């Protein structure tokens, strides 16, 4: 469920919001930032796939040494669809791209989804700005602890904390310096206390947010 990353292994580290198949936008953003795949690291808050036109290309990022991601709810929907043979929910939520692939491309996608089934729900990154916790939707506890048991569905789907913050309620999560989430498309990055929400709706015409943490 958890994975640790030692930031000292990389020169610069960036965290990016939900990709949703927006591969060209990501590549352009990395070029603009002079991202070096031999020295730098990119971490995604999940949802590589669905809704956007380049979901397979985003899945191929899993093979890159410079790329890490947590699992998002869209990866989980795809994993469940393949595992249980019921694709209705996945297709309704942007998964129709899979049926449009060639047979060879479908096999590539299935292999990548098999890899997704081993993705962590939570990444702990220790780097120049302290301890960073990356999860898709939420860390469902008021205190972070390494390897602490938390509800997996909440990590992938929960919006309660963000809704509270947007209404002027809530507070920080203790135990780490920064928490990075996606899942909910916003017009712009939202920061409250030590919580950062960086899905800015790239697939809906918004910006693709990248944040440099080292």
Catalytic residues: 74
- The residue behind tokens 């790239």 is 202
Using CB atoms within 10 Å of the CB of residue 189, give its burial: 0 to 12 exposed, 13 to 18 middle, 19+ buried: middle
> 182: which 2 tokens?
């996606």
Find residue 43's DSSP bridge partners: 15, 68
Rg of the chain over all Cα atoms, to the nearest angstrom: 16
Give the distance, in angstroms, between the CA of residue 115 and the centroid of all CA atoms in the same chain.
15
How many Å apart are CA 97 and CA 205, to the nearest integer? 18
How many Å apart are CA 205 and CA 214, to the nearest integer? 28
């Amino acid at each position: 469920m958890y994975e640790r990353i030692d930031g000292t292994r990389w020169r610069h580290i960036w965290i990016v919001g939900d990709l949703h198949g927006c591969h060209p936008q990501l590549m352009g953003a990395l070029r603009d930032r002079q991202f070096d795949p031999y020295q730098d690291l990119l971490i995604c808050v999940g949802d590589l796939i669905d809704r956007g036109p380049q979901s397979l290309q985003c899945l191929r990022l899993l093979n890159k040494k410079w790329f890490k991601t947590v699992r998002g709810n869209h990866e989980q929907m795809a994993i469940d669809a393949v595992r249980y043979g019921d694709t209705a929910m996945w297709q309704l939520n942007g998964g129709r791209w899979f049926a449009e692939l060639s047979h060879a491309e479908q096999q590539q996608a299935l292999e990548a989804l098999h890899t997704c089934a081993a993705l962590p729900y939570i990444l702990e990154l220790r780097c120049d700005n302290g301890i960073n916790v990356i999860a898709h939707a939420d860390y469902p506890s008021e205190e972070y602890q390494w390897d602490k048991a938390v509800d997996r569905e909440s990590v992938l789907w929960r919006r309660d904390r963000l809704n509270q913050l947007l209404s002027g309620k809530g507070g920080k999560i203790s135990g780490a310096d920064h928490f990075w989430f996606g899942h909910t498309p916003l017009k712009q990055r939202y920061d409250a206390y030590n919580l950062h929400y960086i899905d800015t709706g790239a697939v809906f015409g918004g910006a693709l947010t990248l944040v440099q943490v080292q």
